[in-house]
A = this chain, B = another copy of it.
Amino acid sequence: MIRQLQAGIYNWLPLGLAVLRNIEGIIREELDKMGCVELLMPTMQPAELWQESGRGDYGKETLIVTDRHDRQMIYGPTNEEVITDIARKHLFSYKQVPLTLYHIQWKFRDEIRPRFGVMRGREFLMKDAYSFTVDEESHLELYNQIFATYLRIFKRMGLKAIPFSADTGMIGGKLSHEFQVIAETGESQIYYADELETLVQQHDPDIDAIRRYYAMADEQHNPETCTVPADKLRSARGIEVGHIFFLGDKYSAPMGAVIQNEKGDKVPLQMGCHGIGVSRLVGAIIEAHHDDAGIVWPDAVAPFKVGLMNLRVGDEQCDSACEFFYKEAEKRGFTILYDDTDARGGQKFATMDLIGLPWQVVIGPRTAAEGKVEMKHRATGAKYELSIEDALARLAV
């Protein structure tokens, strides 16, 4: 699925890549739906832009590269400078905003001790969005829209993501929330009001209400001052999967990204930045959805919908039943992984449980003779013996 090439840097083999693409697809759909515009910035950034913005004093995690002309470049860990440079060249009038631009691109952070697999890799795929408005008030509205879109994105991936008011750290700015997925193996301890679990899963979440509920990371949580009664307070492990910031004019002012407001005055753009860890989500989803036998992919991100196992490869009836099922399922738009290897049944079952596709379809000599298949739903373990036609219909539910 994924194989480490060197510390914190990974090869994405076909199954892992398929999950990554599904996650990208969900993020893209939800952002496009709210009117965001996709573009693509390069991985390599000119160091001069970082001098301009005032972030020229890079930490050790920033990968700095000197090219053959002795010019410094940075393998982008985020893109505030580049997008501000684009904004100052393209945005002139209040009529062009609110505008949210985003891209999905590889980033690099030279972590001293990469760990937790793809959850904290050095080269990682991130969606970073940058929002622009003419004033603070309209920016806070946009902030809440992005907040709601984030909740929808994580929900579609089968995740419970709890938002926390957060430090703005090295990114800077005025307001910030991070989103933590609840998973036993999460890297940080979190505390929150139990109502949040329900509120974040609502179709049209009330962001102002959500933001009023108690949610604290370990460092900030204080049992003495906590306003939530003990029986309503949840404590869990969390994995950070998203982070949104209202930046104000932190980048636009020093870089001269100004825009004309309705009165005709030139004012610095109000800016926000909003990240989702795309490759990290692959790890977070596995942490949130597995059992002792392996992964249990939520439907929306599973690399294939069906795993088809031929229990007697080479047997004419088994082979042709499998091929028939494969073609029919494909025709109806289902994605299928076909295990036609020589491995033994027990091994095939174990592998299929491990990679965790939503449905398993098994064809052996007996079922092939009867024109039937065995089906297993990975998440519930429920088993069915059905005709091929009924099995295909079952997949469509």
Contacts and interface: CB of A to CB of B under 8 A. Distances in A.
A61 B3 CA distance: 28
A287 interface: no
A68 B75 contact: no
Contact of A42 (B9, B67, B112): B9
A13 interface: yes
Contact of A39 (B17, B43, B60): B17
Copies of this chain, tallied across the complex: 2
Given A65-B63, A67-B63, A5 B82 contact: yes
A73 B122 CA distance: 12
A396 interface: no
Contacts of A37: 14
A64 to B, nearest CB: 8
B82 A42 contact: no
Contacts of A46: 5-6, 9
Contacts of A6: 44, 46, 71, 73
Contacts of A43: 43, 106, 123
Contacts of A122: 44, 67
Interface residues of A, number: 40
A5 B61 CA distance: 23
A78 interface: no
A349 interface: no
A68 B60 CA distance: 7
Interface in A49-91: 60-61, 63, 65, 67-68, 71, 73, 75, 82, 85-86, 89
A279 to B, nearest CB: 10
Given A10-B42, A12-B40, A44-B75, 11 more contacts: A5-B41, A5-B85, A6-B44, A11-B39, A42-B106, A44-B108, A63-B65, A63-B67, A65-B65, A65-B75, A68-B112
30 contacts: A5-B42, A5-B45, A5-B46, A5-B82, A6-B46, A6-B71, A6-B73, A9-B42, A9-B44, A11-B40, A11-B82, A11-B86, A12-B39, A12-B40, A12-B41, A13-B39, A14-B37, A14-B39, A17-B38, A17-B39, A43-B123, A44-B75, A44-B108, A44-B123, A60-B68, A63-B67, A67-B110, A67-B122, A68-B110, A68-B112
